[in-house]
Chain A
């Protein structure tokens, strides 16, 4: 199918958001609503020996306190069954901040006060909560390797080796994690800020031992998610409270608790060794990574190698690693996920190699182009990284750069540095099942899987439908994020838009044929609604489903069952990745060494651009967060106490407007010929990956000082 460029369209939900009309889960009020608050554990490991609730029950307005006794035993774990749901309330304590009880009350104030009166007693055990802690368990991970690294390195003309550190970070979307559970007529309806409504459904059904057919989950407008809002421990607690009380129950988790219960970007340490031949071709890469991990955490070390391997045409790669098992809650996916710290390390090391071998960092990368997936030799379906590099260099004015570190000084004495780096992220696909219905009264309804978290999926779907169908834009409803309207995939990993857009495209085509068939050659004037009215058909409805490359019907079945049906982007016969190239200028004050970033140019290859406005907005967000990863964010852990210390937005430093300079964005907008019918690839993650290395490389260029740990702060440069 050939598709022309898409025109710019406003966000479909922009007006509602600006006017405050968009409703998220926490906004929901219902008759007879009860408010909930959890009681977090004060210790990091051990057993709760007593949970006195009398004082809480005496607080006026408190209705009930749920304790571990109110929950069924966890379901038995089976190897090939669905993933185990998060635990509910337990007396065994695995991390500080673990919820121990849930207070429900007529008002939020009473719930909070009730929760504060509960002081459980504990039998504490020794714990380990950071890599360096005594008692931390080191568990080697599976190697990812091809070629012959030692031999290749022994022939390399130049090599670099260094260790890079990326800190613990928390997502901190503005919207807190909120659940409202309603139990009515034996049906459980959950409104939640979630990017994975089907997984929430399965987890709650599993934890509470309810038939999944009776559980429905709706993730309406989500105020930022970034990987945090998948499956929460709190959902089953709130659902159980609704069942026991027979009233709707709402819990909006305070930010300080979210730090302790939700997933987070875990701290990693990467040792990178790169060897290149005399012509600047990278001949071998060795990458060892260790990460902080929970006792049962699944966030896989091996994935740090998945993308970085495929950035350049590297023939020899040895990826090793280990989990450091600690008494913490599970780490998880956070925007940029594994490639985020991996590319910080790898692209910093590449900059070191460029300096060591006397090459321009852009030239070095251009020279390491590849058309094939180096791990398996199959073609890459599209790789426009070199286009990103050339376009970025041109817009930034890279050719004017004098490579010598510390060689550019502003009139006020500030040191100026220009740095660059690249990003990569897999372009995975999930199947989709959709229903499109157009009626004679001007309404169109498209129901499909997916969640709107501000990334613009809603707008992208609308763009495709309005481009392909002559319908009334004001009557278009895109129904997503609701297990009642269509099977829901988890919207994450940059596979959302590129999976639903082809389904929308196919639905539009199918609908056009259905109309052609219906009209049978008759000439009826007007848009599709008018045509239906003219021939007295109340509506026309079609269904479509799409699959990822190499997937068969079993993937659709898995999607219907609420399972995880994602095709990773090393597809049968070809591999598909998205790319980005970032150019950053830093200015460092002569005295107090504050680091400013007046200018960024960022170019991304995300295949076909379906919704230019929301796509660019994704990249702005990615760049800003990348700058934040480089210069601001770190969650502090005091190993003596466990838990997290800087648990609010005053002390967990994210950028403010004054931190953001000029950001220029470009999108290559070349369709991928194989990944899907529209040629779309993922964008959300790749727009952030690599920025932090570009900043660190710019800091080196400005000062001659190589900072290998994040965030880079004034004290590194004093």
Chain B
């Protein structure tokens, strides 16, 4: 614990202004379900908290027109149960309601969700410098490599970090080609959700491409009929209330039993929300059979680099994709 200041601005502009003014050690806070947790673990030590949760009307869910637009403060539970989202975009709804618990989903926002940090146990439990961790202490090394790595990533890893990008929602968004609207000291911009996340490379402590003081204001998902034939399939160590061992967000455009176009993104296995074009290519224009589905799943893991205890994620991940394809394809077109 260290003392920090706390303010509740009334508008996004005010929030961004307050951030710029506060300078070093400022953090936005929304639902607080990630940030407070990380503060208790001594990972985040903010000096100024800028609470965006009181901003009026910053939680709107818009489903008219040719896109879905969720303002950053919309609760996970609100988006998950929105009738249009639930009916036409099961992949989005499922990625939310298969995450965390109802209590957390009521508190947590869809904006804050994008910026949650890894569950790598060496990262989280390393207070007092017990475990070397390049994310926590740049240059200190990585305890997970050569350690208890059952939960670690097999895709997108580097020699400095193998930590999994933990969120489910970002995976579904990446599959659906979503983008975010960002407000910063220099005005607004927009970028694909996929571009928000960096690979660990040699700087695993730099996780996001947001500039300091930039705030996510909304998430925008282009509408597509593929939404109806979609699913978020999540395999975990218990039936509920756990992060993914492997997960697959899948949405299909079908012509009878032929796949015109598949969108596939993976969670639980990669250092960032992982789009799987290799798997999509296997399916394009093909009749969907169980064998083909598994072949697509295996293609997604062609470049996997497992460690000591997480090799099973390669096969499990492939089968997760195969099952997700079946579930999505079985969903009616109407």
Contact = CB atoms under 8 A, between A and B. Distances in A.
Interface string B214-243: 000000000000000000000101111111
Interface stretch (B5-13, B279-287, B312-320): B312-320
Nearest to B290: A591
A76 B316 CA distance: 57
Given A636-B148, A715-B312, A591 B319 contact: yes
B100 to A, nearest CB: 10
Complex A-B, nearest 5 residue pairs according to Cβ-Cβ distance, in ascending order: A658-B239, A715-B312, A658-B240, A591-B319, A113-B1
A233 B312 CA distance: 41
B147 A640 contact: yes
Nearest to A112: B1
Interface stretch (A156-164, A284-292, A549-557, A643-651): A643-651
A646 B121 contact: yes
A653 B121 contact: no
Contacts of B148: 636, 638, 645
B4 to A, nearest CB: 12
B316 A656 contact: no
Contacts of A656: 238-241
B72 interface: no
Nearest to B146: A640
Contacts of A640: 143, 147
Given A592-B320, A713-B237, A645 B312 contact: no
A295 interface: no
Most chain A CB inside 10 Å of its own CB: which residue of B42, B143, B239: B239
B143 A641 contact: yes
B130 A116 contact: no
A42 B130 contact: yes
Contact of A592 (B119, B128, B241, B323): B323
A80 B235 CA distance: 55
A645 B125 contact: yes
Contacts of B121: 636, 645-646, 651
Most chain A CB inside 10 Å of its own CB: which residue of B121, B131, B240, B320: B121
B2 interface: yes
B318 to A, nearest CB: 9
Interface residues of B, number: 32
A299 to B, nearest CB: 25
Interface string A94-120: 001000000000000100110010010
B322 interface: yes
Contact of B119 (A96, A651, A657): A651
A96 B239 CA distance: 33
A278 interface: no
Interface string B113-134: 0000001011001011111000
B154 interface: no
A646 B119 CA distance: 10
B29 interface: no
A713 B242 CA distance: 14
Contacts, number: 80
Given A113-B2, A116-B42, A715 B316 contact: yes
B245 interface: yes
B319 A655 contact: no
Contacts of A594: 235
A256 interface: yes
A18 interface: no
B312 A591 contact: no
B235 A714 contact: yes
29 contacts: A42-B128, A113-B1, A113-B2, A116-B1, A591-B320, A591-B322, A591-B323, A592-B320, A632-B237, A632-B238, A638-B147, A638-B148, A640-B147, A641-B130, A643-B130, A648-B125, A650-B119, A651-B119, A655-B238, A657-B240, A658-B238, A658-B239, A658-B241, A659-B239, A713-B237, A714-B235, A714-B312, A718-B312, A718-B316
Contacts of B235: 592, 594, 714
A641 B131 CA distance: 8
Contacts of A658: 238-241
Given A42-B128, A119-B128, A643-B130, 14 more contacts: A113-B1, A116-B42, A592-B320, A592-B323, A632-B238, A658-B238, A714-B245, A714-B312, A714-B316, A715-B312, A715-B316, A718-B312, A718-B315, A718-B319
Contacts of B323: 591-592
Contacts of B322: 591
A581 to B, nearest CB: 26
Interface string B230-268: 000001011111110110000000000000000000000
A327 B125 CA distance: 20
Interface string B297-320: 000000000000000100110011
Contacts of B130: 42, 96, 641, 643
Nearest to A259: B125
B312 A42 contact: no
B1 A659 contact: no
Nearest to A39: B128
Interface string A468-512: 000000000000000000000000000000000000000000000
A13 B234 CA distance: 40
A643 B129 CA distance: 13
A74 to B, nearest CB: 27
Nearest to A254: B40
A195 B316 CA distance: 44
Interface in B78-124: 119, 121-122
B238 to A, nearest CB: 5
Contacts of B312: 714-715, 718
A653 B238 contact: yes
A109 B238 contact: no
Contacts of B127: 116
Nearest to A647: B125
Interface in A675-718: 713-715, 718
Interface string A633-672: 0001010110101111011010111110000000000000
Contacts of A636: 121, 148
A655 B241 CA distance: 9
Interface in A212-263: 256
A657 B316 CA distance: 24
A643 B315 CA distance: 31
Contacts of B119: 650-651
B237 A592 contact: no
Contacts of B42: 116
A554 to B, nearest CB: 49
B293 to A, nearest CB: 9
Interface string B1-28: 1100000000000000000000000000
Contacts of B320: 591-592
Contacts of A657: 240
Interface string B23-48: 00000000000000000001000000
A329 B145 CA distance: 27
B290 to A, nearest CB: 9
Contact of A645 (B122, B129, B237, B242): B122
A342 B320 CA distance: 36
Contacts of B239: 596, 656, 658-659
Contacts of A42: 128-130
Interface in A83-142: 96, 109, 112-113, 116, 119
A112 B121 CA distance: 21
A343 B124 CA distance: 36
A653 B241 CA distance: 10
Contact of A653 (B125, B143, B242): B242
